[in-house]
């Protein structure tokens, strides 16, 4: 299948500052792609380039097999939803929805039909005569999505659409966006800095940093097999625990500061031939067992609980093991207080190893 | 704690309901209030006294003024000076009063205000939203224009107007006012449009609106407050202008301010203080009304424009 969006060697600089450098990206038709990264990583900039709202320095952008590099935003076959909703305050909801269609010279009867259909999909019919100032945040964002919907486009672009909403509403609208995608099957590109949104919505996630895509993969792959240490640290809360160590003879890891050595049998190396040397050993808090479970694990460490954060569904504990602090996730019912001595254990099969100097996955 | 409630209260907390509760009361006549209101009244008096003298004098006949009690209210109220100032006072050979200057000023102010606001708002919009090449350079030059003293440019503009055949005409003065209003108004509009959310502009572009479409359909309807501010600035500025009026026009198209000067400073005959006062008040009336009327509109405009994201 041909890609719905194809970005080739995209470069963008503001003066001497390079924001995007030789970026390549293919988005499949009907795919939900999330651009994820901390602020300033270039994810919104990339989205604005795709929309045609920023003039690119070099490269090409194809949407539905058409070279749109020099096209106006309105001619690219995209609809866009903004973080601040960007509803026209002086127009009614119906006016907001039909503004784009009027500009495109769509006949009046068809405008009404399309507005009615979008309003039906998003359940905003009762709001059509109101002004944006009289709507709540969630309603406004729904209208903003509707404005993209009426344009009957192949590609939807979302620029942090839920970041201005409160937590409850955000979760609700997240579900709605996912349902909308399942129903419409349009290509969607969604920019966010919220990893929960990214993990739950995406078919594939592109993790960005300094204008580069570090890893482009499914949520599962990114979570379980992060391509480098940055991705491993960025995804997951609390963040992955890291130990310094040295891999000896390709099979044993000796932890730094005269820590214990243990076998890495079970870990899938990308290239088993070249794995000797200094490395980071990473393990997620939820992959660390404690108490009786830990006794069954191949690797066991002694530690003392320093801090406990009960979350209800589970309990987070910070454990001090021979000088290094690690977070572990325990059952919500676990009775643990700071000062407790615990035995923790984990399996190298669930671990992640990264080269010390390149920080790439081993 | 729960136990102490059943016991008799300890002496330190004899009756908890008697202590301070709710808003702390403030004395109306405190030293602070006396100082603040006293100062305000003094300053108000200082500013209003000349106005009072003007109004009172303009309502007196000449014999009463000659008595010299400038603060005394008129014994016999007469509107004769007002009528004379408006329709009979002489400047040079013309004896049709200030009315001629008034209409001249209207014919100068209205096109100048409309023209300068129209051009400056489009300027500001282009500078704020369409970052064309050299926009910063253009903006710097425009702002620089705001700091050049007018006097420097008087003579070059005289020559320029003469060359294009507008010297001494009403339209020449309109052109001059429009040009001189440009730097500050452009700055005003640019800053306002920059403060509007950029995403609105982006959304309109995705929706297929062009340069003028976005300007008229999105930007202008959101900008009532700044248009009112620009209007206040321009109307009062142009109405009160004396220098350009006297330099670039001829006596039959003199604006009101210039005519007022000619009435008040005429050397022949008796000084008619009451007519002078009435003429001055008449001239100042227009900016005064603008302030009162649009001041209200201004506040309402800000409130209406406040749609938060």
B50 close contact with A: CB closer than 8 A: no
Q: Is the Cβ–Cβ distance between B64 and B76 less than 8 Å? A: yes
Ranges of residues in chain B whose predicted pLDDT is under 50 = 1-5, 304-309
B83 close contact with A: CB closer than 8 A: no
Smallest CA-to-CA distance from B253 within B106, B130, B59 is with B106
DSSP B82-118: HHHHHHT--BTTB-STTHHHHHHHHHHHHHHHHHHHH
Q: Where are the alpha helices (DSSP H) in chain B?
A: 2-6, 31-58, 62-66, 80-87, 99-129, 135-146, 150-163, 170-195, 198-206, 211-213, 224-240, 243-248, 256-264, 273-305
A90 chain-B contacts, CB cut-off 8 A: 221-222
3 state DSSP class of A351: coil
**Which residue from A minimizes the CA distance to B218?**
A88
The pair of three-digit structure tokens given for residue A153, joined into one six-digit string: 């486009």
DSSP 8-class letter at B24: P
Smallest CA-to-CA distance from B285 within A196, B277, B1, B209 is with B277
Other C-beta atoms closer than 10 Å to the C-beta of A133 total: 13
Per-residue CA distances from B120 to A225, B130, B195, B239 (Å): 58, 15, 16, 19
3 state DSSP class of A80: strand
Distance, in Å, from the CA atom of B72 to the CA atom of B173, rounded to the nearest integer, reads 42
Interval B253-277: pLDDT, tens = 899 999 999 888 876 777 888 899 9
A149 chain-B contacts, CB cut-off 8 A: none
Of B199, B208, B221, the CB nearest to A100: B208
Whether residue A88 and residue B218 make contact (CB cut-off 8 A), yes or no, is: yes
**Which residue from A minimizes the CA distance to B224?**
A90
**Which residue from B minimizes the CA distance to A131?**
B307
Whether residue B203 and residue A89 make contact (CB cut-off 8 A), yes or no, is: no
pLDDT per residue as tens, chain A (362 positions): 578 899 999 999 988 888 998 999 999 999 999 999 998 888 999 999 999 999 899 999 999 989 999 999 999 999 999 999 899 999 999 999 999 999 999 999 999 999 999 999 888 999 999 999 999 988 999 999 999 999 889 899 999 999 888 888 899 999 999 999 999 899 999 999 999 999 999 999 999 999 899 999 999 999 999 999 999 999 988 899 998 888 887 778 888 777 778 888 778 888 777 677 888 989 999 999 888 888 888 888 888 999 999 988 899 999 998 778 899 998 888 888 888 898 888 888 888 999 888 888 98
pLDDT number for residue B306: 42
B296 close contact with A: CB closer than 8 A: no
Complex prediction ipTM: 0.86
B218 chain-A contacts, CB cut-off 8 A: 88
pLDDT number for residue B16: 66
Chain B nearest C-alpha distance from A362 (Å): 43
Distance, in Å, from the CA atom of A276 to the CA atom of B125, rounded to the nearest integer, reads 62
3 state DSSP class of A92: coil
Calculate the CA B2 to chain-centre distance: 67
Instruction: Say which residues have a Cβ less than 8 Å from residue B137's Cβ, sequence separation at least 6.
Output: none
Mean pLDDT of chain B: 85
Other C-beta atoms closer than 10 Å to the C-beta of A267 total: 19
pLDDT number for residue A16: 86
Whether residue B208 and residue A164 make contact (CB cut-off 8 A), yes or no, is: no
Q: Is the Cβ–Cβ distance between A207 and A251 less than 8 Å? A: no
Per-residue CA distances from A23 to A11, A17, A43, A54 (Å): 7, 15, 11, 15
Whether residue B202 and residue A48 make contact (CB cut-off 8 A), yes or no, is: yes
A86 close contact with B: CB closer than 8 A: yes
Distance, in Å, from the CA atom of A252 to the CA atom of A272, rounded to the nearest integer, reads 12
Number of A–B residue contacts, CB under 8 Å? 70
Distance, in Å, from the CA atom of B77 to the CA atom of B85, rounded to the nearest integer, reads 16
pLDDT number for residue A260: 78
Residue A45, beta-bridge partner list: none
Mutation site for B-interface testing, chosen from A44, A84, A89 by largest number of B Cβ within 10 Å: A89
Whether residue A53 and residue B199 make contact (CB cut-off 8 A), yes or no, is: no
**Strand boundaries in chain A, DSSP class E:** 3-14, 17-28, 32-36, 58-63, 66-67, 78-81, 155-159, 187-192, 204-209, 212-217, 241-248, 252-255, 261-263, 277-283, 289-290, 299-310, 314-321, 324-331, 341-346, 352-355
Q: Is the Cβ–Cβ distance between B304 and A133 less than 8 Å? A: no
**Which residue from A minimizes the CA distance to B216?**
A90
Interval B284-309: pLDDT, tens = 998 888 888 877 766 665 554 444 33
pLDDT number for residue A324: 83
Per-residue CA distances from B254 to B159, B160, B189 (Å): 19, 20, 31
Chain A nearest C-alpha distance from B309 (Å): 6
Q: Is the Cβ–Cβ distance between A341 and A302 less than 8 Å? A: yes
pLDDT number for residue A323: 75
Which residues 180-219 of chain B have a CB within 8 Å of chain A?
Answer: 197, 199-200, 202-209, 213, 217-218
Angle at B103 between CA B97 and CA B106, to 5 degrees: 140
Chain B nearest C-alpha distance from A87 (Å): 7
């Amino acid at each position: 299948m041909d890609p719905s969006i194809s970005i080739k060697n995209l470069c963008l600089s503001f003066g001497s500052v390079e924001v995007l450098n030789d970026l390549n990206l293919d988005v499949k038709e009907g795919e939900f792609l999330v651009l994820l990264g901390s602020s300033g990583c270039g994810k919104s900039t990339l989205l604005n380039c795709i929309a045609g709202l920023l003039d690119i320095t070099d490269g090409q952008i194809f949407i539905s097999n058409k070279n749109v590099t020099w096209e106006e935003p309105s001619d690219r076959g995209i609809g866009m939803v903004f973080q601040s909703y960007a509803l026209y305050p002086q127009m009614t909801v119906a006016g907001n929805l039909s503004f784009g269609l009027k500009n495109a010279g769509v006949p009046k009867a068809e405008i009404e039909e399309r507005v009615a259909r979008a309003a039906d999909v998003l359940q905003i019919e009762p709001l059509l005569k109101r002004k944006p100032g009289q709507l709540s945040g969630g309603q406004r964002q729904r209208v903003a999505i509707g404005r993209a919907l009426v344009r009957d486009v192949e590609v939807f672009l979302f620029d942090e659409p839920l970041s201005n909403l409160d937590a409850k509403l955000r979760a609700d609208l997240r579900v709605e966006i996912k349902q909308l995608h399942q129903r419409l099957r349009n290509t969607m590109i969604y920019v966010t800095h919220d990893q929960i949104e990214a993990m739950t919505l995406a078919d594939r996630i592109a993790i960005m940093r300094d204008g580069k895509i570090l890893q482009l993969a499914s949520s599962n792959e990114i979570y379980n097999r992060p391509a480098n240490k940055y991705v491993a640290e960025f995804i997951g809360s609390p963040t992955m625990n890291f130990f310094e160590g040295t891999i000896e003879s390709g099979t044993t890891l000796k932890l730094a500061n005269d820590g214990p050595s243990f076998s890495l049998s079970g870990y899938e190396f990308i290239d088993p031939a070249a794995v000797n040397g200094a490395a980071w050993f990473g393990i997620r808090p939820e992959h660390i067992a404690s108490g009786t479970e830990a006794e069954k694990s191949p690797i066991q460490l002694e530690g003392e609980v320093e801090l406990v954060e009960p979350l209800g569904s589970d309990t987070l504990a910070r454990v001090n093991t021979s000088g290094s602090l690690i977070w572990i996730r325990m059952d919500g019912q676990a009775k643990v207080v700071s000062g407790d001595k615990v035995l923790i254990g984990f399996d190298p099969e669930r671990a992640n190893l990264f080269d010390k100097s390149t920080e790439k996955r081993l | 704690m729960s136990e102490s409630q059943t016991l008799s209260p300890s002496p330190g907390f004899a009756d908890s309901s008697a202590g301070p509760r709710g808003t702390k009361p403030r004395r109306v006549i405190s030293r602070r209030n006396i100082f603040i209101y006293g100062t305000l009244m003094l300053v108000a008096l200082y500013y209003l006294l000349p106005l009072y003298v003007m109004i009172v004098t303009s309502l007196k006949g000449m014999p009463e003024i000659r008595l010299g009690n400038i603060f005394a209210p008129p014994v016999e109220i007469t509107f004769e000076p007002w009528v004379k100032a408006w329709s009979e006072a002489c400047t040079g050979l013309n004896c049709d009063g200030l009315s001629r200057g008034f209409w001249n000023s209207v014919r100068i102010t209205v096109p100048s205000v409309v023209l300068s606001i129209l051009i400056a708002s489009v300027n500001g919009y282009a500078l704020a939203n369409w970052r064309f090449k050299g926009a910063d350079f253009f903006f710097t030059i425009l702002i620089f224009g705001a700091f050049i003293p007018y006097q420097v440019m008087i003579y070059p503009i005289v020559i320029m107007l003469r060359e294009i055949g507008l010297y001494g005409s009403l339209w020449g003065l309109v052109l001059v006012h429009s040009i001189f209003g440009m730097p500050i108004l452009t700055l005003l509009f640019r800053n306002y449009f920059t403060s509007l959310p950029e995403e609105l502009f982006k959304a309109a572009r995705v929706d297929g609106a062009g340069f003028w479409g976005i300007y008229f359909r999105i930007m202008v309807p959101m900008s009532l407050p700044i248009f009112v501010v620009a209007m206040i600035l321009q109307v009062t500025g142009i109405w009160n202008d004396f220098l350009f009026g006297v330099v670039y026009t001829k006596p039959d198209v003199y604006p009101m301010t210039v005519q007022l000067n000619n009435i008040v400073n005429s050397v022949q005959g008796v000084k008619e203080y009451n007519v002078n006062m009435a003429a001055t008040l008449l001239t100042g009336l227009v900016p005064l009304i603008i302030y009162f009327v649009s001041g209200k509109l201004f506040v309402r405009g800000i409130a209406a424009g406040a749609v938060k994201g």
